[in-house]
Structure 1
Amino acid sequence: MSGESTVRYELRGPVAWIGLDRPAKRNAINEALLTALDDALRRAQAEARAMVLFGHGSCFSAGLDLAEHRARAAEETFLISRAWHTVFARIRRGRVPAIAALHGATVGGGLELAATCHIRVADSSAFFALPEGQRGIYVGGGASVHVARLLGLARITDMMLTGRVLDAAAAERMGLVQYLVPEGTALAQAEELALKIAGMAPLTVLGILQALPRIQDMSEEDGLFVESMMAALAQTGPEAAQRLAAFIERRDSK
Structure 2
Amino acid sequence: MPEPPPVMTAILPAKSFMPPLPARTAWTLRRAALDLAAMKTLILRENRGPVALLWLNRPAKRNAITTKMMWRLGELLQGCLADRRVRVVVIAGKGRHFSAGGDMNEMRGMDVLQTDDTMVAWQHNLELVERSTKPVIAAVHGAAFGGGTELAMACHIRVCSESARFAQTEIALDHLPGGGGTQRLPRLVPLSFAYEHLLLGEPIAAAEAHRIGLVNHVWPDAELLDRAVELARRIARRAPTAVRYTMEAVRVGLQGPLDSGMRLERAMASLVNESREAKEGMRAFFESGRRPTRK
1:25 to 61, 64, 80: 61
Distance 1:38 1:231 in 2: 30
| 2:283 pairs with 1:226 | no
Consecutive unaligned residues of structure 2, counting only runs of 5 or more, are 1-38, 291-295
Contact 1:29 1:64 (C-alpha < 8 Å) held by counterparts: yes
TM-score scaled to structure 1, two decimals? 0.94
**Cα deviation, residue 203, structure 1:** 2.0
Equivalences for residues 191-210 of structure 1 within 5 A:
191-210=229-248
TM-score scaled to structure 2, two decimals? 0.81
**Cα deviation, residue 251, structure 1:** 4.7
Distance 2:81 2:289 in 1: 36
Write the letter of the residue equivalent to 1:208. T
Distance 2:59 2:224 in 1: 18
1:63 to 101, 104, 107: 101
| 2:182 pairs with 1:144 | yes
**Cα deviation, residue 175, structure 1:** 0.6
Write the letter of the residue equivalent to 1:22. R
Contact 2:182 2:198 (C-alpha < 8 Å) held by counterparts: no
Distance 1:82 1:108 in 2: 16
Q: Which residue matches 1:37? A: 73
What is the SS of the residue equivalent to 2:91? strand
Could you give the per-residue CA deviations for residues 84-108 of structure 1, whole angstroms, max 9, x where no partner exists? Answer: 1111122111211101111000111
Distance 2:222 2:271 in 1: 40
| 2:40 pairs with 1:4 | yes
**Cα deviation, residue 201, structure 1:** 1.4
Distance 1:220 1:37 in 2: 33
**Cα deviation, residue 220, structure 1:** 2.5
Distance 2:98 2:208 in 1: 18
Q: Which residue matches 1:126? A: 164
Q: Which runs of 4+ in 1 moved over 3 A?
A: none
Could you give the per-residue CA deviations for residues 57-93 of structure 1, whole angstroms, max 9, x where no partner exists? Answer: 0110000111111211111111111111111122111
Contact 1:121 1:189 (C-alpha < 8 Å) held by counterparts: no
Could you give the per-residue CA deviations for residues 151-184 of structure 1, whole angstroms, max 9, x where no partner exists? Answer: 1332122112112211000000101001111122
Q: Which residue matches 1:156? A: 194
2:253 to 210, 215, 218: 215
Contact 1:158 1:164 (C-alpha < 8 Å) held by counterparts: no
What is the SS of the residue equivalent to 2:53? strand
CA RMSD for the aligned pairs? 1.5
Contact 1:203 1:233 (C-alpha < 8 Å) held by counterparts: no
Write the letter of the residue equivalent to 1:180. V
Contact 2:62 2:99 (C-alpha < 8 Å) held by counterparts: yes
Q: Which residue matches 1:186? A: 224
What is the SS of the residue equivalent to 1:250? coil
Write the letter of the residue equivalent to 2:182. S
What is the SS of the residue equivalent to 1:177? coil
**Cα deviation, residue 26, structure 1:** 0.2
What is the SS of the residue equivalent to 1:5? helix
What is the SS of the residue equivalent to 2:52? strand
Contact 2:249 2:261 (C-alpha < 8 Å) held by counterparts: no
* Change in CA separation of 1:16 and 1:251 when aligned onto 2, cut-off 3 Å: closer
Q: Which residue matches 2:88? A: 50
2:147 to 105, 109, 130: 109
Distance 1:212 1:107 in 2: 27
What is the SS of the residue equivalent to 1:236? coil
Of stretches 145-154 and 171-180 in structure 1, the one that deviates more from structure 2 is: 145-154
Of stretches 68-77 and 58-67 in structure 1, the one that deviates more from structure 2 is: 68-77
Distance 1:83 1:116 in 2: 14
What is the SS of the residue equivalent to 1:61? coil
Consecutive unaligned residues of structure 1, counting only runs of 5 or more, are none
**Cα deviation, residue 199, structure 1:** 2.0
Contact 1:50 1:197 (C-alpha < 8 Å) held by counterparts: yes
